[in-house]
Every structure is written in C-alpha cells, then in structure tokens.
Amino acid sequence: LLLSFLQDHNHTLLMRTVNEHLNIRTVDGTVPISSEIEADVGITGHTQNQLDEFNGQEIMLGSAPMDTYVRDEVERTLQSEAGRRVKDAVSKEAAGLLETFSRVKQENAANSLSARDAIPMPPPRGVEVDHQIANLKALRKRIALGPAALPSICMYTMHNTSNSMNCARVSDDLSLLAGGFSESYVKIWSLKREPLRGFQSNFHLGSINKEEDIETIRENTSSDHRKLVAHSGPVFGVDISFDSKYLISCSEDKTARLWSLDTFTNLVCYKGHNYPVWDVSFAPQGFYFATASHDRTARLWSCDHIYALRIFAGHLSDVNCVRFHPNSKYVVTGSSDKSARLWDVQRGSCVRVFTGHTGSVDTVAISPDGRIMASAGEDQTVNIWDLGSGRCMDTLSGHTGSIYSLAFSQEGTLLLSGSADETVRAWDVKRSSTASDHPIVAQRREERRKQAEAEAAAGSSDAMDVDAKEDNPDESSMATGFKATGSAAGAADKSKQSAGTNGSAKGNDNGNSNGNGNGSSQSKKRDAAGIWKSKRVVESDSLLKTWRTKNTPVHSIMMTKRNLAIAIGPFVL
C-alpha cells in the first residue's frame, strides 16, 4: 500500500529512497527463516512451491524459423558464386559457405519453431540475405571457446566523458559505437575511421535516378563521429539494429527515439511511459524493440507504430533492464525488486519468475541457443537459470562491485561479465568433468589456490596491524587515508539516485579492487571502529580468468559472431 500511494501521488524522491534503503515484506503470522540470505529473496506473499508451480508453464525455446525467401536467396547466391567456371578464391569460399549453410538449414529445421508459433515479421528485404551470408562467413571463422580456450577481448576506453556516459553499444558488424550521455545526446563513432556523412538539407529528390546519385547529395565532412540531439533528458539506454541501419535510444524524458544511421536524423518519438526509461533493446530480427522503465513496466513496440503493442506489468519496483530471447517470442526483464521475469510477447503475460538475488537486478543475458539465462546486479553475483524449469543452476561469485553487463559465447558454454570493480571475468557455465581435468584448467586452478593462500597469509598479518592501530585512531586514520574502494554505484544505477546524472557514487568512483589475477578478490568495508578493513570475496570454481582494466568500470560487454569479446567503459579519475 505504501508503494502504491507513493507511486500514485508522484512522490518520486520518497519512492527512490524506499527502494534503496528499505526491504518491505508482507508476512502473515510467523515465517520460518533458515538463514539471513533467505530473508531477502523471493516474491512477497508467495512460497517457493507456488513459484515452482507457476514456472511449470509450457514455453517454446526453439530458434526462430528461417524465412523461405531469405533461405532461397542465400542458396541461389552461393550456388551462383560457387558455379563459376574460373575457380578463384571467391568461388572456393562460396562452395565452403554452401556446405556450411546446408548444415545450418538442417539444424534450424530440427530446432526451430513452427511458422504458426513464431511472432509475425514484415516481409524480408535484401539486407537479411546479406546479413545471413555474413553470419555464415563468421561461423566458418569462429573459434570454439571453453575452459582451455578463452576469448580475446577488445576494450574501448572512453576518455574525457566527465562521468556523464550512462550506456554504450557496438554494432554487430563492429562498424559503429554509440554512447548515451547525461547531457541529453547520443554520440556515435565510426570504428573504421570512416567519415559519417549525412544528407545535405537542400537536395531535390528529382536529382536521384540511380544508387550512385545518393553519394553526391551527402554532406562533405571528414568527421568520424556524430551527435544525435533530440532528447530533453539524460540518455540511459541505446541499441543498434542487426543491420546497423537504425539506432534506438531511451531517456529520462519518458520517451524512446528511433534514429536513422544513414541520415543521422530522428525518425520517430515513442511516448507511453509515465516515468524515466532506463533501458531499450532491439529484437534479434529487428522491427520490434522493448523498453524498461521506472514506472515498473516493460513495453513492447514495433518501429511502425507509435504506441506500445504490449505492456508487461508485474514487477514491484523499477524495471532496470530488458532483453529479447533469440527467437523474439519472449522478453526477459530485471528489476529493483530483486527478481527477473520472462514474458510471452504474443500474450503479454509472465511465464517465468526468477528469484534468488539479494539486490537489484541490473543486467540479464540469454545464451544463443535460448536455453540458459544469466542475471546479475548490485549483489555482485551472477545467477545462471534454466529457462525450461525456472530453476537456478549455479551462483557465481567473485566480483567486488555491481555487475553492469553480461554476454554469452556463441556456444553458450562461457559467460563474460563486466563490473564496476574494473574487471572482466570469464565463467565456465556448463562445467564438465572432462573440461575440469584439462591441463590448462588444472594449472589455472593450482595458481588460484596458491594465490589465495598467499593473500590469506597477507590478510592475517594486515588484520594484526589493524588491531594494533585501533589503540591510536588518529594514527590509523593517517595510515589508511580513509580511501574506500567503491563500486561506482552512480553508473550502475543509471543515475537514478541523482535523477539523471551519472557521477556521485558510494565511496570512491574509481571502483578499485585489491585482488590480482585469479586469486581471492577483496573489497574494503568500514568496521564499527571506523577502520577500513578488507572483506574477502570467495571466488566460484567456475571462474576461469579475470582481466583488469585501468580505472575503467566496464559498462558494456558483447560477443561477436566469431567469439571476439568487445568491452566498453569510461575512464574515471
């Protein structure tokens, strides 16, 4: 009732304070609590048995069916190139792609949804054919990842952002990088160092007779970056369509905007939410997109309608993040009510509820095969879920700051996480006895064990030093300097606390951590005497490797079709 009253009377500041500092639960009688953790998890008023029964609903996790036009055109194009009389490199590559495509068609036919169960899509264009051929080329060059073969990571560090960059995204073809800023604009960079040229404002359509004429009416500029200005509030989320033709952004001004990456102009403004919009995501096949908002709802939109097609209502607090299932039939959301939910796009109803986090869920990811989901957030842990049963498969610990982003490898066996603790970590999602016995994995495990023992010994000596300093608080203060390692919480919460600015954080904005390599991680916490002491974080056995950045919280991480990892974050002083 309190939350409903604050929501209805627009007490935004009080609502934000309640969400951050209070854990409201409705209890009938005496509820047995087996541990302190169990007191903070679950859905108010529902038992675990009720949730298990609810999560027993039938869902369809197969892949999206391949359009017949796209399938036939890809096959015809590859056959034409492979059938050349002169057997050059192009024809040989086409022959290999044709063989790969045959295997992909067989897998899709065996695992895909029926045309009746799939969501309706507009007629395909030629760009879908080019995209499918590009995916086939990437598939042939893909490196299979696992515990013994970890990915390469390309890290983009954004300088001179003044703690104002709230979000970032790289296009699937690695040609563009987009960022949303607290100054109400979206900025786009060309990763190929090519000029981003829009259209001149004074051209006539009658002068365009063929495709080559389009280049003559473009702007004469050499700049490799552009600013997109239209929002009237901080931009909290951006996403780029699969064909790199469109960009969608969301803002504190309660709107989402669709931009053309050909003309660099705003095409549509979507209105419907009553409060700031925290996140936005395109469907894998494009056309549809979803938004997550402070009004406790997520909404489904299509690019050709200005009003929402579906409203997903059920969360008890802010919906922080939203992602599509690979078949676009479902949407998964994460919320400040410490839960994640899976929604049926066609019915608009919730079909899975995932409870287990002890803090706000700020990011979610689904494996490419659509069977596994990962969620993470303020509690600094990653939960792995089986979408079919709704059960938690594993809880991964090791981070010492809020987790901002997750990404699965293309095989779904490896998970990457980016955090405010300025690290990227790789996790073994599907652990097997054969993988754990691999010599490389065994060597890493032994190195981590020795590192943990060394840090444990160092930690015990530090504790003795701290106890000795407690007799002289002034001396202890000068020795420690009272420099706290923080989690850059202002960036993690997408500036909710400051109503649209991304800078103030709990502790130091640098998000430093004291561990190194794959040993036990440490974070600092003030004790009753006011002394900053190290709190050891036990790392899960699934942790494979930790990559550390230099004063750069990792805001976004993604995996390309060839299993190259792309990480993005702002440099903080």
Q: How many helices (H) and strands (E) does the chain have?
A: 11, 29
- Written as one string, the DSSP assignment of 124-143 is P-HHHHHHHHHHHHHHHTPP
Give the Cα separation of 114 and 491 in Å (integer): 42
Q: Whole-angstrom Cα distance, residue 261 to residue 284?
A: 18
- Specify the pTM: 0.77
Question: What DSSP line would sit under 262-288, residue for residue?
Answer: TTTEEEEEEE--SS-EEEEEE-TTSSE
Task: State residue 307's pLDDT score.
Answer: 93
Number of other CB atoms surrounding residue 229 within 10 Å:
12
Side-chain half-sphere exposure of 174, counting CA atoms within 13 A: 17
Compute the distance between CA of residue 399 and CA of residue 521 in angstroms, rounded to an integer.
Answer: 7
Task: Compute the chain's Rg from CA coordinates.
Answer: 25
For 98, the enclosing helix (H) or strand (E) is helix 89-111
pLDDT the model gives residue 234:
95
Predicted local distance difference test score (pLDDT) of residue 445:
61
Q: Is 422 helix (H, G, I), strand (E, B) or coil?
A: coil
Alpha carbon distance 46, 32 (integer Å): 14
- Chain-centroid distance, C-alpha 353: 19
pLDDT per position in the chain (573 positions), as tens? Answer: 677 777 777 777 777 777 777 766 665 544 444 444 444 455 555 566 777 788 888 898 888 888 889 999 999 988 888 877 666 777 888 888 888 988 988 888 888 888 888 888 888 888 889 999 999 999 999 988 888 889 999 999 999 987 899 999 999 999 999 999 999 999 999 999 988 888 776 676 777 777 767 777 777 888 899 999 999 999 999 999 999 999 999 999 999 999 999 889 999 999 999 999 999 999 998 899 999 999 999 999 999 899 999 999 999 999 999 999 999 999 999 999 999 999 999 999 999 999 989 999 999 999 999 999 999 999 999 999 999 989 999 999 999 999 999 999 999 999 999 999 999 999 998 764 444 455 655 666 666 667 667 766 665 555 455 444 444 444 333 233 323 333 333 343 544 444 433 333 333 333 333 334 444 555 544 444 443 344 567 888 889 999 999 999 999 999 999 999 999 999 988
Q: What pLDDT does 489 receive?
A: 38
Phi, psi of 51 (to 5 degrees): -65, -40
Q: How far apart are CA 569 and CA 556, in angstroms?
A: 7
pLDDT score of 526:
43
Nearest to 46 by CA among 319, 337, 293, 374: 337
Question: Looking at residue 23, what is its pLDDT?
Answer: 67
Decide: residue 545, CB within 10 A, 0-12 exposed, 13-18 middle, 19+ buried: middle
Residue 451 and residue 519 in contact, taking contact as beta carbons nearer than 8 Å: yes
What letter would DSSP give residue 381? E
Q: Which helix (H) or strand (E) holds 163?
A: none
Residue 114 contacts by C-beta under 8 Å, 6 or more apart in sequence?
Answer: 65
Q: Token pair for residue 347?
A: 């019915």
Interstrand relation of 153-158 and 565-570 (parallel, antiparallel or unpaired) = parallel
Tell me whether strands 350-355 and 339-344 are parallel, antiparallel or unpaired: antiparallel
566 has which bridge partners? Answer: 154, 558
